[in-house]
Amino acid sequence: MDDFRDPVIRVTAMPADTNAYGDIFGGWLLSLMDSGAGLVAARYSRGRAVTIALDGMKFHKPVKVGDEVSVYGAIRKVGRTSMTIGIEAYRRHRAEEERVKVTEAIFTFVAIDDAGLPRVIEQED
Ligand X SMILES: CC(=O)SCCNC(=O)CCNC(=O)[C@H](O)C(C)(C)COP(=O)(O)OP(=O)(O)OC[C@H]1O[C@@H](n2cnc3c(N)ncnc32)[C@H](O)[C@@H]1OP(=O)(O)O
Report, in Å, the least distance between residue 45 CB and ligand X. 11
> Of 22 and 116, which has the nearer Cβ to ligand X?
116
> Of 18 and 35, which has the nearer Cβ to ligand X?
35
How big, in percent rounded to 5, are the helix, strand and coil portions of the chain? 20, 45, 35
Return the residue of 45, 70, 82, 103 that touches ligand X, per CB under 6 A. Answer: 82
Q: Applying CB under 6 A, does 112 fall inside the site for ligand X?
A: yes
Q: Which residues contact 93 (CB under 8 A, 6 or more apart)?
A: 64, 66, 67, 68
Is the distance from CB of 33 to CB of 87 less than 8 angstroms? yes
Report, in Å, the least distance between residue 38 CB and ligand X. 9
Q: Applying CB under 6 A, does 54 fall inside the site for ligand X?
A: no
Closest CA to 51 of 34, 75, 39: 34
Residues in touch with ligand X (CB under 6 A): 50-53, 79-82, 108, 110, 112, 116, 118
